[in-house]
Amino acid sequence: MFDPVEKLKEHLRFPSVSTDSKFKEGMDGSRRFLEGLFTDMGLGVEVVNTPMHPIVLARREGNSEWPHVLVYGHYDVQPADPLGEWQSDPFDPVVKDGRLFARGAADNKGPQMAHIAAVAQVLEENPELPLRITFLIEGEEEIGSPSLKPFLESRKESFADVDLVLLSDTLSPTEEQIVVTVGLRGIAVLDVEVKGPNVDLHSGLHGGAVYNPVQALCEICASLHDGNNRVTVDGFYEGVTDVEDWEREELAKLEADEKAYKEMLGVDELHPLEGYTPFEATRYLPTLEFNGIGGGYQGEGSKTIVPAKAMTKISCRLVGNQDPKAIGDRVRQAILDRAPSGVSISVKMGHEGAPYLVTPPGRPNSPADMPDRLVHAFETTTKAIGETFGRPPLFLREGGSIPIIADFKSILGLDSVMIGLFLPEDKLHAPNESMNLDVLNRGIEASKRILLSIAQHG
């Protein structure tokens, strides 16, 4: 009998940190664990080498007439530091009060296990079921999935008959209220550097003669939003799609409380674009955020210089049909256009990812041409979650970015059914990450019902 919690604990013992080459052994161990697991389940396993970390593909052919589900997940995890803040070893999973504590428990080894265990148990109960499924578990999600897009492009034919992607790597607000995520923001990242004099200057001897690069950078950055927090770059909102009434109604059901949100963040006032609530702004609107700024002397005391240079890191979150390359270029151009003479500016484009948006069936704007199997998948997901969690899911957009979801759509033409199985208190990317085992068990049950229903839908 497949024991999901024991298997998950086994998986969590491998410190599979993808960003740090010191953890190569942990990455190898995690990959081999998955190979063994899928082999034991009777699936055909292929390990695809990439320039960095291999992709694990596990396939069950089943009946070629049946729907083909692609389950996505990632076996890499965030670094565990600061280690001192963990109450137990991040790579020695411990169960406490119904939660399993370990790095990767919620992101993504736990939620991914819901679908692995569902398939294992379905096949244990009915070994002859012609279930048609492919697991694609990558090792580079936490570093931006650089190898996955080229892999999908080079192996399109392997996925030609896939009907939909199923995954759990998104957030639900509470353990009673599961969210099916129907939109993700895209991203475009820019590094800006302003250069003034060739060295830091004495601000007494030269102050007043030259353009201070920190001043120039601040003037440029300050010009990028107006007083209502609207981004002032021409064309920045191009491709933003309307928010549908049903989306606002669905969001209202969250009963999110601005007062509690402010208290959680520790701010006196929220600052969404005029006309939007903060909960709308983070889901429906693009943003231009300064992730960091630096220049000159930042140490103790004072150093009275005109700095030689200053820098800022910007990331834009994008929505709807926005093209990250086009928007990134517009921001870059606006920054260059606004540079005063007396300083020189360079803007380097970083990584980018497209936004993703799917309208589930039964809404006024649902696409008429949505494939029947995908329509059925959304419907059966709604039903299964309602049965196992006691409440039907909410269909909401989320503010984060999983660029690979847009790639599945643009390269393979596939939409994704994203079932949120981690919660705010699971502390993703932070010390003492954990997975709620009750959510995991209900998730397994829901996934079994979904997979069986999809399979039998024919």
| Shorter beta-carbon distance to a second copy: residue 45 or 52 | 52
Q: Lay out the site mask for a second copy across 174-213 (x = CB under 8 A, - = otherwise).
A: -----------x-x-x-x----xxxxxxxxxxxxxxxxx-
State the CB neighbour count (10 A cutoff) for residue 23.
Answer: 21
Q: Of 168, 187, 66, 193, which Cα lies nearest the Cα of 110? A: 168
Among 12, 117, 214, 345, binds a second copy (CB under 8 A): 214
Task: Provide, rounded to whole angstroms, the least separation between the CB of residue 85 and a second copy.
Answer: 8
Task: Provide, rounded to whole angstroms, the least separation between the CB of residue 411 and a second copy.
Answer: 22
Task: Provide, rounded to whole angstroms, the least separation between the CB of residue 23 and a second copy.
Answer: 11
Among 311, 349, 370, 375, binds a second copy (CB under 8 A): 311
Task: Provide, rounded to whole angstroms, the least separation between the CB of residue 341 and a second copy.
Answer: 5
Q: Of 137, 95, 136, 104, which Cα lies nearest the Cα of 23? A: 104
**Bond prior to 108 in cis (omega within 30° of 0):** yes
What is the distance between the alpha carbons of residues 290 and 210, in angstroms, rounded to a whole number?
A: 26
What is the distance between the alpha carbons of residues 173 and 256, in angstroms, rounded to a whole number?
A: 9
What is the distance between the alpha carbons of residues 108 and 105, in angstroms, rounded to a whole number?
A: 6
Among 69, 152, 306, 444, binds a second copy (CB under 8 A): 306
Which positions from 67 through 86 interact with a second copy, judged by CB under 8 A?
78-79, 81, 85
Task: Provide, rounded to whole angstroms, the least separation between the CB of residue 316 and a second copy.
Answer: 9
| Shorter beta-carbon distance to a second copy: residue 36 or 342 | 342
Q: What is the DSSP string of 135-150?
A: EEEES-GGGT-TTHHH
Task: Provide, rounded to whole angstroms, the least separation between the CB of residue 262 and a second copy.
Answer: 9
Angle at 360 between CA 359 and CA 361, to 5 degrees: 120
Task: Provide, rounded to whole angstroms, the least separation between the CB of residue 283 and a second copy.
Answer: 8
| Residue with the two structure tokens 């302003």 | 194
State the CB neighbour count (10 A cutoff) for residue 331.
Answer: 23
The size of the chain, in residues, is 458
| Shorter beta-carbon distance to a second copy: residue 334 or 455 | 334
The pairing of strands 68-74 and 132-138 is: parallel
What is the distance between the alpha carbons of residues 141 and 401, in angstroms, rounded to a whole number?
A: 11
Sign of CA dihedral 71, 376, 381, 123: negative
Q: Which helix (H) or strand (E) holds 45?
A: strand 44-48
| Shorter beta-carbon distance to a second copy: residue 187 or 357 | 187
Integer distance in angstroms from the first to the last C-alpha of the chain?
A: 28
Task: Provide, rounded to whole angstroms, the least separation between the CB of residue 296 and a second copy.
Answer: 3
| Shorter beta-carbon distance to a second copy: residue 196 or 443 | 196
Q: Lay out the site mask for a second copy across 325-364 (x = CB under 8 A, - = otherwise).
A: ---------------xxxxx-----xx-------------
CB burial string 91-127: b at 16+ within 10 A, e below:
bebeeeeebbbbbbbbbbbbbbbbbbbbbbbbbeeee
Number of residues that bind a second copy (CB under 8 A): 100
Which positions from 403 through 442 interact with a second copy, judged by CB under 8 A?
424, 427-431
Q: Lay out the site mask for a second copy across 382-401 (x = CB under 8 A, - = otherwise).
A: ----------------xxxx
Q: Contact 181/277 with Cβ under 8 angstroms?
A: no
Which positions from 242 through 301 interact with a second copy, judged by CB under 8 A?
261, 265-273, 278-279, 281-282, 285, 287, 289-301
| Shorter beta-carbon distance to a second copy: residue 13 or 225 | 225
| Shorter beta-carbon distance to a second copy: residue 67 or 186 | 186
**Side-chain-side CA neighbours of residue 51 (13 Å):** 7
| Shorter beta-carbon distance to a second copy: residue 145 or 158 | 145
| Shorter beta-carbon distance to a second copy: residue 16 or 315 | 315
Q: Lay out the site mask for a second copy across 95-134 (x = CB under 8 A, - = otherwise).
A: ----------------------------------------
Task: Provide, rounded to whole angstroms, the least separation between the CB of residue 12 and a second copy.
Answer: 19
Among 94, 143, 349, 370, binds a second copy (CB under 8 A): 143
Among 19, 174, 333, 410, binds a second copy (CB under 8 A): 19
| Shorter beta-carbon distance to a second copy: residue 223 or 333 | 223
What is the distance between the alpha carbons of residues 230 and 272, in angstroms, rounded to a whole number?
A: 9
